[in-house]
């Protein structure tokens, strides 16, 4: 790295393979000034651009890759903290940990809990977003439950599962406008279709999960505005050749984005490959569904109010043994998608960054490397390990 006396905030990453949605640039350059990307392309084209003149901080990234920062739509916690803790210090801990593993935008994801507990998360997230955030940007809240199916609780607490309550959502949206970005529910439950329509009308992603819905019920939900499915294959009605179920509908309906937890435990790599082929490069979203044990050793933990044991990197409920979130990072998901499931770097990058950005309606700001977008960037080596993380143009210390 050569550090020159620089125009404030200008940085040039050069020599890496730069992966954009439009092209892959060998011996590429990404130049950003402050929070904003100014240039992305070949070294030759950069030399002829107006950004090549003047001083800058130049980083030689030859032999590596530069990809957009990851966006995690489904994450409960990490490094000993849970978003349900509803404390700013816990949110700092989570967002810094995940940022150091490649996530630059994150959704605080709840578990099925009491209304009061969810209220506390919303209140904390609302205040947190108004101040400086030291790690990943908190893009909003993902409500996973409580409007799910008691037949498919997974690691959700059955005591709090209930039918859809649109009045709760209306009150939350009125008090915290724009904060709730995703709501996961079981579309077959009474009142769910009306709730899905309301969510769509208010720009909130309606997501199917923890559901016993049939193929026809998922199709009807998509007709009402359902556009997402959480942790596809897990905690949902499976695929059968005479009743394609939730999984069959998610795989074949182009209106629905399919989340997958690519950790090698939740879904076999061949099924990740199958899902990627079925959904195409625009229809898959990588997530972690990570819980507080992410980044910590084996032992006993909590997911909401439920006891969890982590062994060999796998989190399971102590009672019943159901998978209880994960210890995955987005970098781990990205690497597994490429090395085990056989996805191209470009397609894996879309699944980890571009596709979730589009779903959240923030693709004009982030999710890909392009001039005018936020400098949310990752520098990876050839083994896909992190060499650098930038959030809004600010390099994080201790990354990797």
pLDDT at 8 (0 to 100): 53
SS3 170: helix
Buried b (16+ CB within 10 A) or exposed e, 274-298: bbbebbebebbbbbbbbbbbbbeee
The residues of the chain that CATH labels 2.30.40.10 are 2-67+368-395
**Residue 384 CA, distance from chain mean position:** 18
Is residue 399's pLDDT more than 80?
no
Return the CATH architecture of domain 70-360.
Alpha-Beta Barrel (3.20)
Mean pLDDT of the chain: 96
Helices first, then strands: H and E counts in the chain: 11, 22
Read off the pLDDT of residues 215-238 as tens digits, 9 standing for 90 and up. 999 999 999 999 999 999 999 999
Read off the pLDDT of residues 333-346 as tens digits, 9 standing for 90 and up. 999 999 999 999 99
Which residues have a catalytic role annotated?
289
Per CATH, which fold does 2-67+368-395 belong to?
Urease, subunit C; domain 1 (2.30.40)
Is residue 312's pLDDT more than 50?
yes
Mean pLDDT of 288-292: 98
pLDDT at 384 (0 to 100): 98
* Angle at alpha carbon of residue 378, lines to 372 and 381, rounded to 5°: 140
**Residue 36: strand pairing partners:** 33, 374
Task: Check if the beta carbon of residue 19 is closer than 8 Å to that of residue 345.
Answer: yes
**Residue 15 CA, distance from chain mean position:** 28
Mean pLDDT of 42-48: 96
Task: Tell me the two tokens of residue 158.
Answer: 């059955």
Mean pLDDT of 172-201: 98
Give the H or E element holding residue 81: strand 81-82
3-state secondary structure 313-367: CEEEECCCCCECCECCCHHHHHHHHHHCCCCCHHHHHHHHHHHHHHHHCCCCCCC
pLDDT at 54 (0 to 100): 83
Read off the pLDDT of residues 81-109 as tens digits, 9 standing for 90 and up. 999 999 999 999 999 999 999 999 999 99
Please state, in angstroms and rounded to a whole number, the distance separating the CA atoms of residues 230 and 260: 7
Beta strands (DSSP E) in 209-305 are 228-229, 257-261, 284-287, 299-303
Is residue 5's pLDDT more than 90?
no
Please state, in angstroms and rounded to a whole number, the distance separating the CA atoms of residues 297 and 311: 8
Is residue 248's pLDDT more than 50?
yes
pLDDT at 366 (0 to 100): 98
**Residue 18: strand pairing partners:** 25, 66
pLDDT at 9 (0 to 100): 73
Read off the pLDDT of residues 117-153 as tens digits, 9 standing for 90 and up. 999 999 999 999 999 999 999 999 999 999 999 999 9
Task: Tell me the two tokens of residue 48.
Answer: 């002829």
The residues of the chain that CATH labels 3.20.20.140 are 70-360
Count the neighbouring beta carbons within 10 Å of the beta carbon of residue 114. 13
SS3 270: helix
Read off the pLDDT of residues 346-378 as tens digits, 9 standing for 90 and up. 999 999 999 999 999 999 999 999 999 999 999
Q: What is the DSSP string of 125-194?
A: HHHHTTS--SSSEEEEEEEE-SSS-TT--TTS-GGG--S--HHHHHHHHHHSTTTEEEEEE-TTSTTHHH
């Amino acid at each position: 790295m050569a550090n020159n006396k620089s125009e404030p905030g200008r940085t040039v990453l050069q020599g890496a393979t730069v992966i954009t949605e439009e092209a892959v640039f060998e011996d590429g350059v990404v130049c950003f000034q402050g929070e904003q990307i100014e240039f992305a392309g070949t070294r030759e084209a950069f030399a002829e651009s107006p950004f090549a003149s003047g001083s800058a901080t130049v980083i030689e990234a030859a032999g590596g890759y530069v990809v957009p920062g990851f966006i995690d739509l489904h994450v409960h916690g990490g490094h000993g903290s849970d978003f349900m803790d509803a404390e700013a210090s816990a949110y700092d801990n989570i967002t810094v940990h995940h940022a150091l593993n490649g996530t630059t935008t994150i959704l605080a994801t709840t578990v099925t809990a009491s209304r009061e507990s969810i209220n506390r998360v919303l209140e904390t997230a609302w205040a947190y977003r108004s101040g400086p955030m030291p790690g990943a940007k908190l893009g909003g809240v993902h409500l996973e439950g409580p409007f799910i199916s008691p037949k498919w609780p997974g690691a959700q607490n059955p005591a709090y599962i209930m039918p859809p309550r649109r009045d709760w959502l209306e009150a939350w949206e009125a008090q915290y406008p724009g904060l709730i970005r995703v709501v996961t529910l079981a579309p077959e439950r009474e009142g769910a279709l009306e709730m899905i329509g309301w969510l769509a009308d208010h720009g909130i992603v309606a997501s199917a999960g923890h559901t016993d819905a049939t193929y026809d019920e998922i199709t009807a939900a998509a007709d009402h505005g359902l556009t997402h499915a959480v942790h596809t294959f897990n905690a949902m009605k499976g695929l059968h050749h005479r009743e394609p179920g939730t999984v069959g509908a998610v795989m074949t309906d182009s209106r629905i984005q399919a989340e997958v937890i690519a950790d090698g435990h939740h879904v076999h790599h061949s099924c990740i490959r199958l899902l990627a082929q079925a959904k195409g490069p625009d229809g898959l979203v990588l997530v972690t569904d990570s819980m507080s044990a992410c980044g910590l050793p084996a032992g006993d933990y909590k997911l909401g109010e439920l006891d969890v044991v982590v062994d060999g990197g796998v989190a399971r409920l102590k009672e019943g043994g159901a998978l209880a979130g994960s210890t995955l990072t987005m970098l781990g998901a990205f690497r597994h998608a490429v090395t085990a499931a056989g996805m191209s770097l470009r397609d894996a990058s879309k699944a980890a960054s571009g596709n979730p950005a589009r779903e959240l309606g923030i693709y004009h700001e982030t999710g890909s490397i392009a001039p005018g977008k936020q400098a949310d960037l990752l520098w990876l080596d050839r083994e896909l390990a992190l060499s650098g993380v930038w959030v809004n143009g600010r390099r994080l210390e201790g990354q990797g």
